[in-house]
Amino acid sequence: MTAQLPGWKSLPPGAVITRPGSTVEYKTHDWRTLRPVIDQERCIRCRLCWLYCPEGTIIELDKPYTTKTGRKYTRTYEINYDYCKGCGICAQECPAKAIKMVEEVR
Ligand code: SF4
Ligand code: SF4
């Protein structure tokens, strides 16, 4: 005798966002094996990493930074490691080679 499976009308609806913004509760960094690290001295503040990151985890801050050679910037880019998956797209796209992927240590 085979078990009776529920029909499609009995299944609960899927792919529904019941609480907008709730994904912030799910920290998605667990599967990261490589971690991107931004070298603030090399970064030219072009914003491409911010644009390309599929997780939106690169943060643009109104935080001034002056390089050792005296170049002044009004913005700083940092990474929210709670949500970064370590995909490496930011490092691949950075025109200044300012992002290095290093081994994750936990
Ligand atoms: S490694 Fe991937 S997820 Fe992490 S900051 Fe770079 S582009 Fe975003
Ligand atoms: S892509 Fe590279 S140079 Fe551009 S803002 Fe990001 S880290 Fe800086």
User: Which ligand ends up closest to the CA of 38?
Assistant: 2
pLDDT tens figures, 38-93: 999 999 999 999 999 999 999 999 999 999 999 999 999 999 999 999 999 999 99
Decide if 23 is inside a domain: no
Question: What pLDDT is recorded for position 22?
Answer: 86
- Phi/psi at 10 (5° precision): -85, -15
Domain membership flag for residue 4: no
pLDDT value of position 1: 61
- Tens-digit pLDDT profile for residues 78-93: 999 999 999 999 999 9
Quote the ligand 2 centre to 76 CA distance (angstroms). 9
pLDDT of residue 95: 98
User: Is 89 part of any domain?
Assistant: yes
Secondary structure (DSSP) of 9-70: GGSPP-S--SSTTGGGGS---TT-SEEEEE-TTT-----HHHHH-TT--EEEE---EE-TT-
- Looking at the CA of residue 58, tell me the nearest atom of ligand 1: 5
CATH number of the structural domain spanning residue 55? 3.30.70.20
* Domain limits for position 79: 39-106
Are the C-beta atoms of residues 102 and 39 closer than 8 Å to each other? no
* Residue whose tokens read 């599929």: 54
Please count the structural domains in the chain. Answer: 1
Q: Is 10 among the domain residues? A: no
